[in-house]
Amino acid sequence: MSHIIELTDEQYETLRQVAARDQETPEQLLKRMVNALTEIQGTVYYTDDELLRALGADDEELTELAKLETADHADE
């Protein structure tokens, strides 16, 4: 069974950039994230950074994601 998830171009580009850093496709990254979420289900994370660290993000990735998020909000 397959499902389609709709993302904005900006969201997909963020996903693509993060995946590329780990030499993955966006699809591989999403599968890895879902697997990690399944493993940590029931654990409470109070910030996005805590969750992303639990999913394997490092300081460099968190900094880059923060920059991308700031850029996204600058357009609003």
Give pLDDT tens digits for 21-56. 989 999 999 998 888 888 777 777 778 888 888 888
CB 7, CB 18: distance < 8 Å: no
Q: What is the mean pLDDT of residues 50-72?
A: 85
Domain-by-domain residue ranges, the chain? Answer: 9-74
CA 69 remoteness from chain centre: 11
d(CA 29, CA 27): 5
